[in-house]
Structures are given as structure tokens and as C-alpha cells.
Amino acid sequence: MLPAARYLDPQLLAALHGLPLRARLIVEGYVSGVHRSPFHGFSIEFAEHREYTPGDDLRYLDWKVFGRTDKFYLKQFEEETNLVCYLLLDVSESMTYRNPAARLSKLEYAQSAAAALAYLILHQQDSAGLVAFDDEIRKLVRPSGNPSHLNELFHAMEHSPGGRKTAMGPIFHDLAERFKKRGIVIVLSDLFDDVDGLTAGLKHFRHRRHEVILMHVLDPAELDFPFQRTTLFRGLERHPEALVEPRALRKAYLAEFNAYLRRLKTACRRHRMDYVLLRTDQSLEVVLSTYLASRTRQFAPP
């Protein structure tokens, strides 16, 4: 199956049609797009006046203001820019989990979400890049706005080696220094890692003035722990196998897991990062379209 056919569901694309991914924060750049730039130039749209200082270009003096105030002011204009979106895809071993009743593994679900977001970003004339990682960076595709770039992103997802232990904190610190242009960082992962280390890495992105969206990809069995019979749990990411009586563990497991979720969500609120839960048994088109529609209503520029 061709990568595009594998990752892009026509029903999903139809659901996302007309829902742009806009930046909440001002982004940098100069290419025409739907996002405001903090760099002031002398084109596109009037923004504000600035008092003249020696050496400024006299072509942009506002003579009407001078006539009223006897002071020299320059007209400044605000350029529009394209968004850069960095898609961070977790390809660690735990992402391969799929309970017997599920249609997709967490990795396959995350790949579909990343593909749909990349398609959306490129079709709104913005730029998308991809990083596949586990305990190290496995693939890095630099952002581009070329429509043909989509195939390169699909190829990287299709051929990303992985399957080892997750180590997000050091990876995110590294990437925060590599991503020079401000944009949106979207993490697609089950986030099975030390919460403090993970949060420190995400804070580094925020310190570099990126916007962060955490898309938490989980299998329903991890959320609900529905197991009833004595079960042999296969260890992932270097953990050993364990034969357990799940009914005896369910209460403690759910208490621990829900406490972990609360810590993640609290960190996201504290540092102004979006948290989106992606359950692999939910319709991806419903989850993504609902989130993007809500984001558009709340953060669309005036």
C-alpha cells in the first residue's frame, strides 16, 4: 500500500476541510500566509506609527501626522507569515501496543494523526517537519512548505527505526536548541516517561517561545484496565513479563494512572500547553476536527 493511501483517510480529510491550524502565538517569517509576524516591514497592512530617528527611510514619513503635530512619525506595516509546525512522533516500543479489540496500534494511530496534520498544514501553505524518536532521534525531516514534501514526511514515518525505550526529556532539550524558528511543536506520544523530565523538556520549547500541543495517544485498555482473567503482561521498553491477577490490581493501577494523567494536565495548564487525549478507539476525524474547530473559535486572529 502506498504511504498516502495508508495514512490519509478521505473521510478524515473531509472532516478537517476548512479547519485551519492557526498559531496562538505570533510567529516569525516573511512568506505570505495566515499568521502575523512580529517583524515590521513596509508592505501588506498598516500596523502603527513610530517616532522618526536619524537614519530612518524618509519615504515612510506620515506627513498628515506631521501637519497636525509638527513631529515626524513613520508608518509601520505588519507582514504576514507562514507557520512552521514541528511534528514529534514517538516510535518507542510501547507505542506498538494494541489490545486485541483495537483496530490500530498507538503508533499507527499517531502516524495517521501526524499525516492528517501535515496534509492540513501544507495545504494551508504553511511548513511542516517531522522528528521520529525513542531514546534518540531516529529521523529528522526539516520543515518545508512544498506540497511534494508530504511524500517525504510519509516516507520518514514509514521507515523510521525505533522500538526502544522512551527518553523524551533529553530529546526535547536537544530539539529545542535545533528549532531556530518559532512555531508550533506537536508531540504525538503515549508519554510513558518520567513526568518531571518530560515537563522540563517541554518547558524548554516554551522558553524558546514555541507553542506546544501535547497529543496523548493511549489504548483504551491502558485507560480502563478491563482485564478480568489471570493475564501474562508482556514487558515493553525493557520491563520484564508479569503474570498477574488483574482484578486485584485494577483499583491501584487506575489510581496510579489517573494521578499520572492529572500531573500531566496540570503541567500543561501551568505552562500554557494544549493537552489533547487521543484514544485509539475513537474516530480520529471527530477528535481532530473537534479540537481544531475549538481552537479556531478561541484563537483565530481578529
Please report the pLDDT score of residue 171 as a whole number.
96
What one-letter code names the amino acid at 145? G
Please report the pLDDT score of residue 237 as a whole number.
58
Per-residue tens of pLDDT for the chain, all 302 residues: 445 556 667 777 677 666 667 665 434 443 445 555 554 444 444 555 667 766 666 777 888 888 888 888 777 654 445 789 999 999 999 999 998 888 899 999 999 999 999 988 998 889 999 999 999 999 999 999 888 898 899 889 888 876 778 889 999 999 999 998 899 999 999 999 999 999 999 999 999 999 999 999 999 999 988 877 766 566 665 666 666 767 778 888 899 999 999 999 999 999 999 999 999 999 898 899 899 888 877 655 44
Decide: residue 243, CB within 10 A, 0-12 exposed, 13-18 middle, 19+ buried: exposed
For residue 82, give every residue at least 6 positions away whose Cβ sits within 8 Å of its Cβ, in sequence order, or none.
29, 31, 32, 33, 35, 125, 126, 127, 145
How far apart CA 38 and CA 15 sit, in angstroms, is: 32
Please report the pLDDT score of residue 26 as a whole number.
39
Please report the pLDDT score of residue 137 as a whole number.
94
CA distances from 36 to 29, 40, 209, 294 (A): 9, 10, 15, 20
How far apart CA 85 and CA 224 sit, in angstroms, is: 32
Q: Give the domains, in start order, of the chain with CATH numbers.
A: 3-25+83-296 (3.40.50.410), 35-81 (no CATH)
Please report the pLDDT score of residue 30 as a whole number.
39
Please report the pLDDT score of residue 82 as a whole number.
72
Q: What predicted TM-score, i.e. pTM, was given to this entire model?
A: 0.77
**Residue 261 grid cell:** 494523567
Please report the pLDDT score of residue 200 as a whole number.
96
